Amino acid sequence: MKIAVLGTGYVGLSTGVCLSEIGHNVTCIDINKEKIKHLRQGILPIYEPGLEALLASNITAGRLRFTTDRKELKDKEIIIIAVGTPQREDGEADLSYIEQAAKDISGYIAESSIIVIKSTVPVGTNEYIKKTIEKECGFSIQIISNPEFLRQGSAIHDTMNADRIIIGYENKAAAMKLQEMYRPLNLPILLTSIRSAEMIKYASNAFLATKISFINAMANICEAVGANIEDVAQGMGKDKRIGEAFLKPGIGYGGSCFPKDVEVLHHTASLYGINSSLLKETIEINESQKDLLVKKALIRFGKLKGKKITMLGLAFKPDTDDMREAPSINIARSLTSLGAEVVAYDPAAMINAKGILGDKILFANSVDEAVWNADALFIVTEWQEFQQLNLPTVLKKMKHPIIFDGRNCFKEDRIKACETIEYYSIGRPDMIVGIA
Ligand code: UDX
């Protein structure tokens, strides 16, 4: 099939690359000339494991092309819109990019092409975009809501092995055409109304975010009563009705989806006069979770002025360079406002972090450099590199062998194997080894 994908962010690129990989003829279109120039050379604007290799092989195979020229839309059977919908200050989704994309394509699309919206948009937006395009182009079009559930860091795997494909439609023939596009993936497909499809995306993300806030709330109770959240989560997760996924406690969820989508859904509910205090609580627990490591450090040290704190990890999660809504931002700002000297290291997100945190903190080139002479070490992102650290070697380089682990990277036996260590984690008993 001849497919166009508008927008070359995470979702657009992963979708375009995967659809070409399964044999379609894909043209990715973006207004950013520089980005398109790089993509043509096989250079990615984002860090995403596995994506670069697939990009290169599909460009070479002639199935994947990049352009800024909207005239290329003319002969496309399916046009997928995957532009960003960031959050506005007032909590609503910023639809300006998708509105612009709708207007931009109107002069170039054929009557037979199907418009597929992959961008996460509030309920009702697909209908609004359909009207916007029809007003501009003068004929009626077919629109499909086809939300995406891929995670950064495993975008290719998640696209190729999605748990389900949601097709929200009003025209049966259009829905069948999209089913045909996805057929090579052999995945479960759910056909719904357009509004239900839009809602599925928000409800799924809100549920997962709530699951995280729930386990974080339980972790805080575990700390108070002397239980261990890892055992508790494992015990809960064995119940198939609960499930093991997304029960990992920590310093809160970040990224480009959960924070924004929960806020937008909460906002939508309030627009309709619906009580959504559950979502508000999810957000509030997440916010307070971000302060946890600093609170624990304040209890331990009394004050943080003049203390050298090392932060390992800046990205909102491992295997990405994305800093959007990363808990590390709050932590770095709190620490510096309390007068601490902060040195940070992240395997991928340092350039993006510098753009946000600027000269507020220092950036080291390695773990070794970052931990040298530190009063305490904060583990902020659970990169493999950090999980596999040789703890005794790291601790020897520090001024004090104190770790505040926001991601529960180390099991009890690894802490016990250290000569001297003070180890504070999330929802587990504090561990003090070798200190009288
Ligand atoms: C998420 C959804 O998983 C995906 O379906 C949707 O399309 C986009 O948003 P992503 O933001 O890439 O994907 O990352 P994800 O792996 O879901 O993690 C989100 C945040 O939750 C991270 O900050 C992560 O650290 C945190 N998290 C996740 C937890 O704190 N505990 C968990 O158990 C799982």
Mean pLDDT of 89-116: 91
- Is-catalytic flag, 18? no
Amino acid found at 220 = N
Name the residue ranges covered by the structural domains of the chain.
2-192, 201-288, 290-433
What pTM does this model have?
0.95
- The reply, when asked if residue 273 is annotated as ligand binding, is no
The CB of 219 under 6 Å from ligand 1? The reply is: no
Mean pLDDT of 68-85: 94
Rounded to an integer, what distance in angstroms lies between the CA atom of residue 122 and that of residue 308?
Answer: 44
Which residues, 6+ apart, have CB-to-CB distance to 61 below 8 Å? 20
Amino acid found at 165 = I
Question: 433 with 419: CB under 8 angstroms?
Answer: yes
Bridge partner residues of 27 (DSSP): 4, 65
> Which tens digit of pLDDT belongs to each residue from 194-225?
999 999 999 999 999 999 999 999 999 999 99
- The reply, when asked if residue 247 is annotated as ligand binding, is yes
Domain spanning 2-192, CATH architecture: 3-Layer(aba) Sandwich (3.40)
| Class level of CATH domain 201-288 | mainly alpha
CA atoms within 13 A on the CB side of 70: 17
Amino acid found at 6 = L
Instruction: Please say if the pLDDT value at position 436 is more than 80.
Output: no
Q: How far is the CA of 372 from the centre of ligand 1 (A)?
A: 31
The CB of 394 under 6 Å from ligand 1? The reply is: no
- The reply, when asked if residue 246 is annotated as ligand binding, is yes
Which residues, 6+ apart, have CB-to-CB distance to 420 below 8 Å? 395, 401, 433, 434, 435
> Which tens digit of pLDDT belongs to each residue from 161-170?
999 999 999 9
What pLDDT does residue 113 have? 92
Instruction: Please say if the pLDDT value at position 46 is more than 90.
Output: no
Rounded to an integer, what distance in angstroms lies between the CA atom of residue 285 and that of residue 218?
Answer: 11
Instruction: Please say if the pLDDT value at position 93 is more than 90.
Output: no
Mean pLDDT of 307-320: 97
Going by C-alpha positions, the residue among 436, 397, 421, 406 that lies closest to residue 296 is 406
What pLDDT does residue 90 have? 82
What pLDDT does residue 2 have? 97
**Beta strand ranges found along 129-282 (DSSP E):** 142-145, 165-168, 189-192
- Write the DSSP assignment of 201-213 as a string of letters: HHHHHHHHHHHHH
What pLDDT does residue 88 have? 85
- The reply, when asked if residue 35 is annotated as ligand binding, is yes
The CB of 257 under 6 Å from ligand 1? The reply is: yes
Mean pLDDT of 312-330: 96
Which residues, 6+ apart, have CB-to-CB distance to 337 below 8 Å? none
Rounded to an integer, what distance in angstroms lies between the CA atom of residue 7 and that of residue 27?
Answer: 11
**Sorting pLDDT into bands at 50, 70 and 90, what band is 47?**
confident
Ligand 1 atom at minimum distance from 381 CA: 25
Q: Pick the residue whose CA is nearest to atom 26 on ligand 1.
A: 253
Q: Give the percent of the chain with pLDDT over 70.
A: 100
| ipTM reported for the complex, 2 dp | 0.98
| Class level of CATH domain 290-433 | alpha beta
**Sorting pLDDT into bands at 50, 70 and 90, what band is 91?**
confident
Ligand 1 atom at minimum distance from 120 CA: 7
Check if 2-192 and 201-288 are the same fold: no
Q: Pick the residue whose CA is nearest to atom 33 on ligand 1.
A: 246
The CB of 177 under 6 Å from ligand 1? The reply is: no
What pLDDT does residue 320 have? 92
**Sorting pLDDT into bands at 50, 70 and 90, what band is 386?**
very high
* Candidate from 201, 253, 283 with most ligand 1 atoms within 8 A of CB, to mutate: 253
Q: How far is the CA of 332 from the centre of ligand 1 (A)?
A: 21
Going by C-alpha positions, the residue among 73, 82, 72, 146 that lies closest to residue 110 is 73
* Candidate from 14, 163, 208, 425 with most ligand 1 atoms within 8 A of CB, to mutate: 208
What pLDDT does residue 313 have? 98
Question: 149 with 157: CB under 8 angstroms?
Answer: no
* Candidate from 13, 47, 151 with most ligand 1 atoms within 8 A of CB, to mutate: 151
Identify the active-site residue in 28, 222, 257, 418.
257
Neighbours of 39 (CB within 10 A): 23
Mean pLDDT of 219-245: 98
- The reply, when asked if residue 49 is annotated as ligand binding, is no
What pLDDT does residue 130 have? 96
Q: Pick the residue whose CA is nearest to atom 2 on ligand 1.
A: 151
The CB of 130 under 6 Å from ligand 1? The reply is: no
- The reply, when asked if residue 107 is annotated as ligand binding, is no
